[in-house]
Amino acid sequence: MIEIIPVGGYSEIGRNCTLVKWKDESVMVDLGLHMENYIRLTEDEDVPFEIPQSTLIREDAVPDLTAVSDELKTVKAVCISHAHLDHVGAVPFFANKIKAPIHGTKFTIEVLRKLVDDKKKKISSELVSHPENSKFRVSKNLEVEFIHITHSTPHTVLVVVHTPDGCVVYANDFKLDNAPLLGPKPNYEAMKKLKNVKALILDSLYALDPRKTPSESIAREMLRDVLLGTSSDDKTILVTTFSSHIARLKSIIEISKTLKRTPVFIGRSLAKYVDAAKAAGLGDFEKEAEMVRYGSKLEQYFKKTRKTTDKLFVVTGHQGEPKAVLSRIAKGKFFPFNPEDLVVFSCKVIPNEENFVNRSNLESELKNKKSRIFTDIHVSGHACREDHREFIRLINPENVIPTHGDLAMLNAQKELALEMGYEEDKIHILKNFSKIWV
């Protein structure tokens, strides 16, 4: 029997962490932050490392590893599925407690190195990077396989934990993009080959959305449509998107070239992911774009660069965060913001009250300045219901464990599995620490 211990991210969105255990050996999959709770604590992603672990745990910003302290000595490997902070962001806080190597793909490990450096802390665990579509032994009885899948950040994998009693597939997060812009299509062949899949742990963020998530190539077309199909001569253009979305950043650079504008990336978070992309062999953005790495250097940059209309600025602050670069530019802090200057939101508002308020304040500010605002120029990195159906059929698990969603989303995933013929007792809506055996 395989034991599945949900540690974080069950019946909540964020701080993903699951233990897959066979006899006295286990693999920890993901160790992430709960972004909303974390940002509330720090008001900023760039948290000083001094925040005590007990505070992070008390405020539900990280998985509560103290509740599974007895299990931690069984952990033979920590395997990270991808580079988003809700999957990797808690590693710097806990790595020294777990005493096991941290495994990930190249981009994920490079992002993790940056996070550790940022916090000026050394971690004793070995960081091991593996190619996508590889298999490696982590203990006498356990093997882990990384299968390439598409998402909104590069080198995302399904983490498959192979045990002598069958395997567990961890698919959190993913989409099925058949025309991706960076890297190949999902490795359907490897998925089909999986045998004796005891359980599938399944991203449910868009389980309520009855469609197939469009490809990232559609997002590129949406951006082209807005940026190439709108008159912008003598106007300043600002685009904001997720810093970790390397494929999207590449599309923006391509479009800048067509517009004969120099792309300028502004902000520490963008610099961090651009550096990780370079180290992971995903391209050298600094050859094609100017970089202003620190907010503190902005004033100086704009003093030197008086003309803004031959550039395309890529900035942080898509959720309207008041301290981020976009909000500060919108207030006219660095250069006069003129009527009909363009602001393109290549993102979606992550739904929580704080973001809604911040975005609404930012958009009012921009409207007062008579900016042209384009919102939702974006497609998601998460699968929807029709992808889930495809995926469950492909993996053919004995048990389905919906995760990464609120109760309504998890129930929608359950409904789908029931519709596909699963018995009720093979679908498990878990709470953190409510372990099961499969």
* Nearest distance from C-beta of residue 348 to Zn ion, angstroms: 13
Q: Does 203 bind Zn ion (CB under 5 A)?
A: no
What single DSSP character describes residue 205?
A: T
Q: Which stretch binds Zn ion (CB under 5 A): 67-75, 170-178, 352-360, 430-438?
A: 170-178
CB of 82 to Zn ion, least distance (A): 6
Please identify, among the stretches 83-91, 205-213, 231-239, 324-332, the one whose residues bind Zn ion according to the rule CB under 5 A. 83-91
Cβ contact 404:9 at 8 Å: yes
Q: How far apart are CA 422 and CA 297, in angstroms?
A: 57
Residues 113-132 that bind Zn ion (CB under 5 A): none
Query: Interaction with Zn ion in 361-380: which residues (CB under 5 A)?
Result: none
Quick one: 130 or 175, whose CB is closer to Zn ion? 175
Which phi and psi angles does 75 have, rounded to 5°? -75, 120
Distances (CA, A) of 64 to 6, 84, 129, 429: 11, 19, 26, 19
Q: Please identify, using beta-carbon distances, which residue of 205 and 417 lies nearer to Zn ion.
A: 205
Question: Minimum Å distance from CB 9 to Zn ion?
Answer: 11
- Phi-psi label, residue 312: left if phi above 0, alpha if psi -120 to 50, beta otherwise: beta
Rounded Cα distance, 414 and 401, in Å:
8
Q: Yes or no: say if 72 and 97 are a contact pair by the CB < 8 Å rule.
A: yes
- Preceding amide of 173 cis, omega within 30: yes
Element (H, E) at 345: strand 342-346
If the CB atoms of residues 155 and 198 are measured against Zn ion, the closer one turns out to be 155
Cβ proximity to Zn ion: between 110 and 173 the closer is: 173
**Under a CB-based contact definition with an 8 Å cutoff, are residues 3 and 21 in contact?**
yes
Q: Identify which of residues 3 and 45 has a Cβ nearer to Zn ion in the complex.
A: 45
Is residue 30 a contact point for Zn ion (CB under 5 A)?
no
84 near Zn ion, rule: CB under 5 A: yes
Q: Which is nearer to Zn ion, 89 or 166 (CB)?
A: 89
The stretch among 82-90, 115-123, 163-171, 348-356 that binds Zn ion (CB under 5 A) is 82-90
Q: Write down the least CB distance from residue 328 to Zn ion, Å.
A: 27
Binding region for Zn ion (CB under 5 A) out of 58-66, 166-174, 313-321, 342-350: 166-174
Binders of Zn ion among 172-191, rule CB under 5 A?
A: 173
What are the counts of helices (DSSP H) followed by strands (DSSP E) for the chain? 15, 19
Asked if 36 interacts with Zn ion (CB under 5 A), we say no
382 binds Zn ion (CB under 5 A): no
Number of residues located near Zn ion, criterion CB under 5 A: 2
Which range of residues in 12-20, 165-173, 174-182, 338-346 is near Zn ion by CB under 5 A?
Answer: 165-173
Q: Check binding of 198 to Zn ion (CB under 5 A).
A: no
321 forms part of the interface with Zn ion (CB under 5 A):
no
Q: Is-contact 254 285, C-beta < 8 A? A: no
Query: In this structure, are residues 243 and 316 in contact, taking their beta carbons and an 8 Å threshold?
Result: yes
State the minimum distance, in angstroms, from the CB of residue 209 to Zn ion. Answer: 16
**DSSP summary character for residue 65:** G
**What are the tokens at 187?**
């490795």
> CA quadruple 152, 156, 158, 159: dihedral positive or negative?
negative
Q: Does 414 bind Zn ion (CB under 5 A)?
A: no
Decide: 380 and 176 in contact? Cβ < 8 Å. Answer: no
Residue 387 binding Zn ion, by CB under 5 A: no
**Block residue for tokens 């604590």:** 41
The least CB distance from residue 16 to Zn ion, in Å, is: 9
Binding segment toward Zn ion, per CB under 5 A, in 168-176, 239-247, 292-300, 311-319: 168-176
Nearest CA-CA partner of 331 in 289, 270, 249, 321: 321
Return residues touching Zn ion (CB under 5 A): 84, 173
